[in-house]
Each structure stands twice: as C-alpha cells, then as structure tokens.
Structure 1
Amino acid sequence: MTLLELENVAVAYGRIEALHGISLTVNEGEVVALIGANGAGKTTTMRAISGTRALTSGKITFNGEDISKLRADLRVVRGLCQSPEGRQIFPGMTVMENLDMGAYTRRDSAGIAADLERVLTLFPRLAERRKQAGGTLSGGEQQMLAVGRALMSRPKLLLLDEPSMGLAPLVIRQIFDIITEINQQGTTILLVEQNAQQALSRAHRGYVLETGQIVKEGSGQDLLHDPSVKEAYLGVA
C-alpha cells in the first residue's frame, strides 16, 4: 500500500524554485532513501512533506488523504513526524522532558508509557541519562534523543533528515542499526542522508535528487552499485 505520494511537487523560496516538480512514493513498511549533494533540495522536500514549507504547485497524499494544505501540527496527528536536520532538541530540558514533548498530541497515557519503554529500550543511553539536560549530551546522544522524541508521536511514517550529520563513524553505524530495527518493528521510514553508502545499504528503495529534480530511482542495492551514483556519492570512480 502506498503510504506517501508526492506528485509534481514544486517549492520556491521567493523567486528561486528549489524543487522542480518532483514525484516519489513511499510504501507501507519500507525504508526509502533520498540522497543528493548539498543544495539538491533534500531538506526542502522534507519540509514540504512535514508542512513547514508551502507548495508552489503539486500534491502530497498521505495515507489516502490530500495533505497538501494541511497544517504541520495536524500532519503529526495523522501520523507523519520528522526528526529534523541538526536534531533541534530542547537543550534546557531533560531527556525525559524532551521525550514527553514528542507525545504532546496524544492523550492515551497507557500507549505513551509503552512507547516510552520502547524508546528507552532502543536507546539504553537515553535511559542512563534520563534526568540530564539535552544540551549536555554528546552529538550521537542528541541524535538518539531527536529520533526517540519523534517516535513518541507513534508515527506511521518517520521522516529522518540527515541523522548521521556530524557524527563519528562508529556512532553512525549504531544510528543506522537502530533505524533498521525501528523499521523491522513496523515503522515506515523516509530517510534523507548525505552518507549514501549507509542510506542505500539500509533502504529498500532510493531516489537521487539533483538541483531540485529526481534524476534516478531504484532499489537500494541497484543504486548502490550504479556507476554514476558510485562516482558522485560514494567516492568510487
């Protein structure tokens, strides 16, 4: 079943068009990777999907509903939640308070408690630091907190924007192992990532975005072994 569909989506910043009519789909249960260089339009795509950037034209359908003009907070209620680029946790709040903020749209206290237990099991480091201020965590721990906070909304589709940014290689592997585990537990994931090697090796399917246009799509493995993708994004000639 198609969970998310973008049809000819265009987004502009003033007179500058950042997305030139892109189309993509995310099916239920998948990990889909969106890769591309800096400035390709990856984060703009995520903002368009999450509702923090208005469309110039085109259509976004989520779970069978046209959400093109739906407010961002109502998209969260529908089951669409983003872990943003740069993590954007609340630095003065504790780990637990940050996680509580992820569930702000929910009223099912038993479900919230179960999801909190799930997040702390996925990220034991957060359990150890539950009373610590978010701003005192390491970069990797802050990324775990950002993902955990997003999971607290119990998303049908989890949007991950550059989860490996600024992290050490060992921590990147840990983060991607957890992303795979989250997907195996039943959460569909759209992943925007500059680390094409990790993203495509974990993804069922992928899209390559260049200067606001999708130029390639295919299975994660096909793109991983595509000569032009290897040269441009994997450092292999």
Structure 2
Amino acid sequence: MLLEIKDLVVRYGRIDALHGISIEVNEGEIVALIGANGAGKTTTMRAISGIRPAAQGSIQFAGEDITKLRADLRVRRGICQSPEGRGVFPGMTVLENLDMGAYTRKDKSGVAADLDRVFGLFPRLAERRKQVAGTMSGGEQQMVAVGRALMARPKLLLLDEPSMGLAPMVIQQIFDIIVEINRQGTTVLLVEQNAQQALSRAHRAYVLETGLITKTGTGQELLHDPSIKDAYLGVA
C-alpha cells in the first residue's frame, strides 16, 4: 500500500473539518475522492501534503509514518500536489514554472527527460514554453500545474479539482491525460466535483460528506449507485 490514512481528524480552530476519515491508495491506482463543496476534500489533500496538521490519526506513506513530517520533506518522499485553482506563477514562463517543480532535484539528465515527458503529454506547453503563464487560458494553466507537479517525479500525484472552471472539451482532455499519466506508472489521488469524469476513470473511489467517508467502492460501482447518481451525477 502506498498511502494509508487512518482515523484522520483535521481542525480549523475548534471546528472539525475531517471527523476521523480512513483512506487507502495502492500503488498504480487512480483513486477518486468526490463530494460537494465544503465536504472536506481540499482539507484532506492539504493534510496529505503537510499544509494542514493532523489533530488526530495517522498518515503512512510507502511504509513510513509522515503524520508530523514537514511539507517540503513530503515532496522529497514523493508526494506532489497540483492545487485547487492551479496556482501557477503568473509572471513566470511555462518553462520557468515547470523548472520550479524540479527544485528538489539534482539529476539534470533526469529533469531533462521528465521535461520531455511533460511536453509529450502536453504538446501545447511545448509550443508555448516561453509564454508567461498568467496570460494563458484556464485549461493551459491547468496543464502547467499538472506538468509542474510531474517534474518532481512523484510516486503519488495529488490532483485537487483539475476540471474546475474548464470548458467541457478541455475537461475531457485533462482527464484523458490523467489516465495516461497513471498508465505511465504514477499513482493518482484525485479530488473532483465532476463525479462523472472522476468515477468513470478511477479504479476505486470514496464519497466524502461533511468530513465523513460515507461510501467507498470501485469507480464503476459508485458510478452506477442510485444514491450517487441522484446526489452527484444529476440523474435519478
């Protein structure tokens, strides 16, 4: 098992945002975490990244307890996140943004190979490598954010709402690329409001509601679950 979260509680002040959730991610999987706004999805990602401290519970990664490990050291262990809202460096070029993803690495030949890999996944970025990221469309900025995360050569790629604010055609493209990234060997934990896209591609999935895991199953099981259809897929 690559990631194991047990009984995780995260608080903002006196308010519990997560009420003791447990999640498992096996190596080679795409695991989706779906839920409405305010369910605690982004808080879960921030806890895994080390941005939000755990009040209770534990986070194990590759057999190591990382519950209290600093965020930057988690990146070095192989956890890298593409954040909600993309978070590109707007005044820097595409290439400079991608280089920032590799800031912990010293293997120049490996970095060059991974840059080629990112440009293979996202040909648009290769064409626009000198363009300032802040002038790009939302879909292009999402490509930059995912590519930047890949430049750290993560064992676990955390994707927080990759389809947010994107046109339907671009959403389809982004999800196809996520599947390809996984096919190439990167494990993916995906937080997403677009349940249809997430569940249709996930090996397994969890439903998070107001800080609690309420359902889990394969992506296909949840995709065809009547209660999930009613709540998240817009069909009865």
Report the TM-score range of the alignment, normalised by the length of the smaller protein: over 0.9
Given residue 2 of structure 2, which amino acid in structure 1 is its aligned partner?
Answer: L
1:46 and 2:51 matched: no
1:105 CA displacement = 0.3
Given residue 216 of structure 1, which amino acid in structure 2 is its aligned partner?
Answer: K
State the partner residue of 1:28: 27
- Consecutive unaligned residues of structure 1, counting only runs of 5 or more, are none
State the partner residue of 2:115: 116
Cα deviation digits, residues 35-83 of structure 1 (max 9, x gap): 0000000000000000000001000000000000000000000000000
Aligned-partner SS, 1:101 = helix
1:169 and 2:129 matched: no
Cα deviation digits, residues 104-152 of structure 1 (max 9, x gap): 0000001000000000010000001100000001000000000000000
Given residue 221 of structure 1, which amino acid in structure 2 is its aligned partner?
Answer: Q
CA-atom RMSD, angstroms?
0.3
Give the total of aligned pairs.
236
Cα deviation digits, residues 169-213 of structure 1 (max 9, x gap): 000000000000000000000000000000000000000000000
State the partner residue of 2:2: 3
Given residue 164 of structure 1, which amino acid in structure 2 is its aligned partner?
Answer: S
Given residue 70 of structure 2, which amino acid in structure 1 is its aligned partner?
Answer: R
Given residue 210 of structure 1, which amino acid in structure 2 is its aligned partner?
Answer: E
State the partner residue of 1:65: 64
1:96 and 2:100 matched: no
1:214 and 2:174 matched: no
Percent identical among aligned pairs is 79
User: Partners in 2 of 1:100 and 1:177 — Cα distance?
Assistant: 24
Given residue 115 of structure 2, which amino acid in structure 1 is its aligned partner?
Answer: L
Given residue 142 of structure 1, which amino acid in structure 2 is its aligned partner?
Answer: Q
TM-score normalised according to structure 2 size = 1.00
Given residue 193 of structure 1, which amino acid in structure 2 is its aligned partner?
Answer: E
Aligned-partner SS, 1:69 = coil
State the partner residue of 1:202: 201
State the partner residue of 2:73: 74
Given residue 97 of structure 1, which amino acid in structure 2 is its aligned partner?
Answer: E
- Consecutive unaligned residues of structure 2, counting only runs of 5 or more, are none
User: Partners in 2 of 1:99 and 1:24 — Cα distance?
Assistant: 30
TM-score normalised according to structure 1 size = 0.99
User: Partners in 2 of 1:40 and 1:60 — Cα distance?
Assistant: 19
